Amino acid sequence: MTQTLNTLAVVVEGPERLSLSRLELDAPDGDDVVVDIEWSGISTGTERLLWSGRMPPFPGMGYPLVPGYESVGRISAVGARAAGRVGDRVFVPGARCFGTVRGLFGGAASRLVVPGSRVTPVDEALGSQAVLLALAATAQHALAAQGSSPPELIVGHGVLGRLLARITVASGAPAPTVWERNPLRTAGAEGYRVCAPEDDARRDYRSVYDVSGDSSILDSLIGRLAPGGEIVLAGFYVEPLSFVFAPAFMREARIRVAAEWKQPDLDAVLAMVRAGSLSLEGLLTHCHEASDAAPAYQQAFGDPACLKMVLDWRQSA
């Protein structure tokens, strides 16, 4: 694999400045595969922060950058030492192959060069739904921590909140309650209840998983805990988090942070999907051609009816 390769990529040039640019790719070596991307998802968490300029200090942060960590495509070339076969459909959690342009996280492009060890084969039947595997693995990582309890309350009914609820139900645990204030996002529950916080009188939750990203929410959640209850911070928070100590002291509250997913989390959700216990249906609500990336990002970040935006790269050479 010695040919010069290029790609069409989403480039965040600075806060609220986004373009679709042709970039030269780093030359692949024997451990790499080349993947022609079919679809990539837009994250309304980390990608919104990168686009808006509000991302806290983060390894590799700086502009210009290629965002995205939810990409699916087909292997078009395989290095001599790399696993994988030409034609395999794979999930790619991002790449760093754009020369002087940062890859943070580097998945929103028509072609990627990535170590073969970083890609995961996915079933053909998943199609564009495979972009959801990163969020599903994020939910699984929060749930699978040693000593963790399944959520009795989930705060937020976006895609991550829905996946947390679906995986909880699939595990055989009691169905959680989900809080959601936006009426456009209250529909779509599968075997669990969705309500506004003010419509929920319960104040003895033993496990609360927050995916709202709201840095001011801790006091209200602590007030809903049973003694010894746990709050799991599974969203991404820009502002410092704080809480009033006395109520937390009275409840002997515990607070846990769920970090980035790992390969065993991805393997676990793939097994659930293949077994039919976890559905990814109904979570992709909008799709744009990659050539319309700028308005697609605007809609993904500004339209509350848009649960998940997907870019279609199949017509992009």
Based on the number of CB atoms within 10 Å of its own CB, is 304 exposed (0-12), middle (13-18) or buried (19 or more)?
Answer: exposed
Full DSSP string of 205-231: EEEEEE-S--TT-HHHHHTTEEEEEEE
pLDDT of 243 reads: 97
Render pLDDT for 61-115 as a digit per residue (tens, 0 to 9): 889 999 999 999 999 999 999 989 999 999 999 999 999 999 989 999 999 999 9
- Rounded CA gap, 285 and 93, in Å? 21
Per-domain boundaries in the chain? 6-121+285-312, 135-257
Confidence band, pLDDT 50/70/90 cuts, at residue 58: confident
In this structure, which topology does domain 6-121+285-312 adopt according to CATH?
A: Quinone Oxidoreductase; Chain A, domain 1 (3.90.180)
Tell me which H or E stretch contains 274.
helix 263-275
pTM listed for this prediction: 0.94
Instruction: Give the tens place of pLDDT for each residue, 119-178.
Output: 999 999 999 999 999 999 999 999 999 889 999 999 999 999 999 999 999 999 999 999
* Assigned CATH for 135-257: 3.40.50.720
